[in-house]
Amino acid sequence: MNTEQTEELTGVCFDTDLIVRYGGRGPRYTSYPTALQFDESLTPDNYREKAAESNTSDVPLSLYVHIPFCHSLCYYCGCNKIVTRNEARVERYMEMLYREIEMQSKLFDHSRKIEQLHFGGGTPTYLDNEQLSELLDTLRAAFNFDDSEDREFSIEVDPRTVDADGIRHLAKLGFNRLSLGIQDFEPAVQQAVNRAQTPEEVQNLVDSAIGAGFGSISFDLIYGLPQQTVESFNRTLDIVIGMKPDRLAVYNYAHLPRRFKGQRMINANDIPAPEVKLELLRHTIEKLCAAGYIYIGMDHFALPGDELVQARLDGTLQRNFQGYSTHRQCDLVSLGVSGISGIGNMFAQNAITTMEYEAIIESGELPIKKGILVDDDDLKRAAVIQALMCYDSLSFDDFGAEHGIDFRRYFADEIKRLEPLVEDELIDLDDAGVAITQKGRLLLRSIAMVFDRYIDQAENDNRFSKAI
Ligand code: SF4
């Protein structure tokens, strides 16, 4: 990559005024339509039909496995998780998960390779080495795993639940990407969110992961947590940068105690004021870019040698439920409670509670509870949003040729609605297309929302997290 390309990629411009004005609530667009549009008219029969249809394509498969259990509650958490130490409860869930694997695997041609695998939660490493081995053995027996270098097999790791041996074990099972939940290294912040882990413990895991040959290590951080200050977060960033993770995701803490009960444990007075949060974000972006990280988009950063950066340059970057990915679009089969599958033009979500998930499987049915069949209009909108989220630009002619439409006519209303964003310098717009400016790159979802036909800002204000 040459210098010009690097500058082009790191180019974000922090405009406080614009961020305050546009940084309201909005979807993260890990899918479009978003899960809010799912309803219960989608049935297991629809799912089976779409799975059968998908077998006529040569699209590979991606597997997501949800392990909802955690040993203790992190107060900021907004995930679908169960805090328990009850082994019998875990065993029952695993038994039902195995039944789901059996049911799902029968729906897909065995010739279809699993190119991507992601274990998320909750805490996948809640399971011990033996349980993880059994789960991987079961998945490998049921599906056709691609074990080539190209595979993208990732797992979310809570550093408090694994040691160096555990990391080596994950490598033996075939995982080649790790995502470590760091959030913040400052003791006062860790105490305020009930999640204590030392830099030494994390460094030890990073060393083991490098030694075990993990191709990519990613850290998650959160800004806006209680007790955080710019100075304290700066110390965390210094430690993190010293550990050189290949990728970083820096999320905004959304305090929604009415929706997420655990957040009621957080003293609202300890949360940084809005202007401090803005400073935290500005400082984080400047510091990471100065340390050589490249802003990929939507909270994600990567070192120049990372595949995400190359994928952005060569046009293969994808936005998906895990954020960004380098892999071409796969059909996504999600296993476990609350998992969302995406097959052809269908999204389907499993039951949200373990009680319902287990009861449906026990009855011999797929645990699909809701979803949506995406129509042609939404497929086009999804492609526009994908282009904006991944590449910051879109050519009307190229898009029109690929999707068989006259873009200017088809999206005439949306082009009109982009005009105020031009005045505010979030985008450049001309007859050839739209290009997101350096100021607009931090407000990608506000720009993408123009193409979302379900957005009603007033109505949705409280259902999405804040953009910033
Ligand atoms: S942040 Fe992760 S480990 Fe903590 S409660 Fe949520 S899912 Fe569990």
164 Cβ inside 6 Å of ligand 1: no
Long-range contacts of 414-422 (CB under 8 A, 24+ apart): 414/450, 414/451, 417/450, 418/447, 418/450, 421/446, 421/447, 421/450
The one-letter amino acid code at 404 reads: G
81 lines ligand 1 (CB under 6 A): yes
User: Does the CB atom of residue 158 touch ligand 1 within 6 A?
Assistant: yes
Minimal-distance CA residue to ligand 1 atom 7? 122
Give residue-wise pLDDT tens across range 117-135.
999 999 999 999 999 999 9
Residue 463's pLDDT is what? 54
Please work out whether the CB of residue 70 comes within 6 Å of at least one atom of ligand 1: yes
SS3 content of the chain, % helix, strand, coil (to 5): 45, 20, 35
349 alpha carbon – ligand 1 mean position (Å): 21
350 alpha carbon – ligand 1 mean position (Å) = 20
pTM of the complete model beyond 0.85 = yes
297 lines ligand 1 (CB under 6 A): no
pLDDT at 195: 97
Q: Splitting the chain (468 residues) into consecutive groups of 10 residues, what average pLDDT does each group show?
A: 53 88 84 95 98 94 97 94 96 98 98 96 96 98 94 96 97 97 98 98 98 96 98 98 98 94 96 94 94 93 93 88 83 97 97 98 98 97 95 95 98 97 96 95 93 73 55
3-state per-residue secondary structure call for 383-433:
HHHHHHHHHCEEEHHHHHHHHCCCHHHHCHHHHHHHHHHHHCCCEEEECCE
Q: Decide: 327 in ligand 1 pocket, CB within 6 A.
A: no
Q: Would you call 208 helix, strand, or coil by DSSP?
A: helix
CA nearest ligand 1 atom 1, residue = 77
364-397 tens-digit pLDDT: 999 999 999 999 999 999 999 999 999 989 999 9
**Three-class SS state of 60:** coil
Does residue 77's CB lie within 6 angstroms of at least one atom of ligand 1? yes
pLDDT value of position 8: 55
| Atom 2 in ligand 1: residue holding the nearest Cα | 122
* Candidate from 75, 77, 160, 222 with most ligand 1 atoms within 8 A of CB, to mutate: 77
CA distance 114 to 86: 32
Q: Which of 66, 67, 73 to mutate to test the pocket of ligand 1 (most atoms within 8 A of CB)?
A: 73
Ligand 1 pocket mutation, candidates 66, 70, 160, 225, criterion most atoms within 8 A of CB: 70
Of the candidates 141, 121, 128, 71, which has an alpha carbon nearest to the alpha carbon of residue 338? 121
Task: Provide the pLDDT for residue 458.
Answer: 42
The finding on whether 266 has its CB within 6 A of some atom of ligand 1 is no
Pocket test for ligand 1, best of 67, 82, 158, 190 (most atoms within 8 A of CB): 158
Q: How far is the CA of 74 from the centre of ligand 1 (A)?
A: 5
Residue 272, ligand 1, Cβ within 6 A: no
Ligand 1 within 6 A of CB of 74 = yes
Whether 73 is in the pocket of ligand 1, judged by its Cβ within 6 Å, is yes
Give the Å distance between the CA of 412 and the centre of ligand 1.
Answer: 44
> What domains lie within the chain, and their CATH numbers?
1-30+375-468 (1.10.10.920), 31-332 (3.80.30.20)
Q: Which protein residue's CA is at the shortest distance from atom 4 of ligand 1?
A: 74
| Three-state secondary structure string covering 243-295 | HCCCEEEEEECCCCCCCCHHHHHCCHHHCCCHHHHHHHHHHHHHHHHHCCCEE
Any idea what DSSP says for residue 80?
Answer: -
Select from 123, 197, 265 the residue to mutate for testing ligand 1; criterion: most ligand atoms less than 8 Å from CB: 123
Mutation pick for ligand 1 pocket among 74, 83, 265, 266 (CB with most ligand atoms within 8 Å)? 74
* Nearest alpha carbon, ligand 1 atom 6: 77
Which pLDDT score, from 0 to 100, does residue 455 have? 87
pLDDT of residue 467: 53
CA atoms within 13 A on the CB side of 413: 5
